[in-house]
Amino acid sequence: MSSFAPRVFSGIKPSGDLHLGNYLGAIKRFVPLQETHACIYCVVDLHAITVWQDPQDLEKATHEVAAAYLAAGVDPEKHIIFNQSQVHQHAELAWIFNCVARMGWMQRMTQFKDKAGKNSQNVSLGLFAYPSLMAADILLYKATHVPVGEDQKQHLELTRDIAQKFNNDFAASISRNHLDGDFFPLSEPVITGPATRVLSLRDGTRKMSKSEASDMATIYMLDDADSIARKIRKAKSDPEPLPSEVAGLKGRLEAANLVGIYAALADISQQEVLDQFGGKGFGTFKPALAELAVDRLAPIAMEMRRYLAEPDMIEKILKEGADRARVMAEDTMKQVRKIVGFIS
Ligand code: TRP
């Protein structure tokens, strides 16, 4: 058994309008991992174009994700921030993985089924191959830990299946080339914290997203203090007071969502939120949550705007990050090309 250095990789699609789900489910959790791991945080623009993106909007959205990483506290000097398309090795390894992954595995992906819906004959081939590119992102850097939201768990399982099949299929070649028996690691998702799945503020059966019908359903990372507070005060809840135990949130989707958001923003557990607010109604809880959210989110929005006002600086950071990522990626690809039998 080989051992792999602890390394974190994660990515966010630049498809416009980052929201609280992106922040609590991903970006906020990227920050503390920097203390213990070498981290690579990617703006996955190749993934974004699996559905149509207006080119000018894509540029803007790429800046926005990079600005969010920076504003939240990712350190681009100690760690790496870059956009995926600047490191061609992602696309190259994804192609090889397209030849490792099986149709049946891909057809089981629930995110694809949800996104394609009844339209499955008319979505891009890229959307179908999406998880294979994601596996390439992670395995190019032999990342051991991948902080993601709950919804990405199945893609991580597929990533491990691809790694394992590659290690097996090419076992003889791997050893002929004097490389480790386990060439690729079996990367683990890191799905922790009270808000790995943030729900719509208007409908507790749906994920928070930028495509909600009502603008009041989604808190955007660039929202100003007034909008944040208004959306929370108007959020759907129920007439019951909050329970004093987490178990009491069962079946109360909207209440559980708001408690989860509070816990994640305050860096405490849901139980600690209920220790404080159990027995109190939403008339008390919502204003407290609104105040907390404004307190935690408004400064980040301000910092994001400061970065967004300097796109040249953002692009310089992305380019420097890409230069460093490329060295690591090429190191892996040199070996992969040999293992597969490509002459170079
Ligand atoms: N699929 C992820 C999402 O939609 C984004 C992503 C692409 C990603 N590549 C990744 C996440 C690699 C973690 C690691 O949220």
Distance between CA 326 and CA 319 in Å, rounded? 10
C-alpha 136/C-alpha 116 separation (Å) is 22
Residue 145 in contact with ligand 1 by CB distance below 6 A: no
How many angstroms is it from 267 CA to the middle of ligand 1? 24
Q: Tell me which of 115, 142, 152 to substitute to probe ligand 1's pocket, judged by most ligand atoms within 8 Å of the beta carbon.
A: 152
Whether 74 contacts 34, CB under 8 Å: yes
Looking at residues 150-177, what average pLDDT do you find?
96
Contact 90, 326 (CB under 8 A): no
Average pLDDT over residues 255-279: 97
- Whether 246 and 228 have beta carbons less than 8 Å apart is answered as no
Residues 2-26 have pLDDT tens digits of 589 999 999 999 998 999 999 999 9
pTM of the model: 0.95
Model pLDDT, residue 2: 55
Assigned token pair, 17: 């309008």
Ligand 1 binding pocket includes 148 (Cβ within 6 Å):
yes
pLDDT in tens, 34-50: 999 999 999 999 999 99
In the block, which residue shows the tokens 């009270």?
194
Which residues have C-beta within 8 Å of that of residue 146, sequence separation ≥ 6?
A: 8, 9, 10, 138, 152, 156, 159, 187, 188, 189, 190
Q: Say how many Å lie between the CA of residue 313 and the centre of ligand 1.
A: 25
Closest residue by CA, ligand 1 atom 8: 11
Per-residue pLDDT at 1 exceeds 50 = no
Q: What pLDDT is stored for residue 211 in this prediction? A: 82
Q: How far is CA 161 from CA 3, 65, 168, in A?
A: 18, 29, 10
For ligand 1, is residue 152 a contact (CB within 6 Å)?
yes
**CA 62, CA 85: separation in Å to the nearest integer?**
11
* Catalytic, out of 60, 153, 165, 210: 210
Q: DSSP characters for 28-79?
A: HHHHHHTTTSEEEEEE-HHHHTTS---HHHHHHHHHHHHHHHHHHT--TTTS
Residue 180: pLDDT band with limits 50, 70, 90: confident
Options 207, 231, 236, 286, the catalytic residue: 207
Identify the H or E element spanning 189.
strand 188-190
207: annotated active-site residue: yes
**pLDDT of 314 strictly over 70:** yes
* Separation CA 344–CA 334 (nearest Å): 9
Output the CA 285–ligand 1 centroid distance in Å: 33
Distance CA 50, CA 122 (A): 12
Tell how far the Cα of 159 is from the centroid of ligand 1, in angstroms. Answer: 11
Which residue's CA is the nearest one to ligand 1's atom 14?
10
Q: Name the residue at shortest CA distance from atom 13 of ligand 1.
A: 10
Q: Is the CB of 21 under 6 A from ligand 1?
A: no
Domains and CATH numbers, the chain: 7-196+310-340 (3.40.50.620), 225-306 (1.10.240.10)
Is residue 254 within 8 Å of residue 204, measured between CB atoms? yes
Of 64, 71, 8, 14, which is closest to residue 43 (Cα–Cα)? Answer: 14
In this structure, what token pair is assigned to residue 314?
């953002």
Asked whether residue 292 carries a pLDDT value surpassing 60, the answer given is yes
Per-residue pLDDT of 97-111, as tens digits, reads: 999 999 999 999 999
Nearest CA to ligand 1 atom 9: 134
Distance (angstroms) between ligand 1 centre and the Cα of 15 equals 12
Q: Which atom of ligand 1 is nearest to the CA of 9?
A: 14
Q: Kindly state the percentage of the chain with pLDDT values over 70.
A: 99
Question: Looking at the predicted structure, is the pLDDT value of residue 330 above 90?
Answer: yes
Does residue 13 carry a catalytic annotation?
Answer: no
Structure tokens at 73: 């506290």
What six digits make up the tokens of 212?
A: 């909600």
DSSP type of residue 204:
T
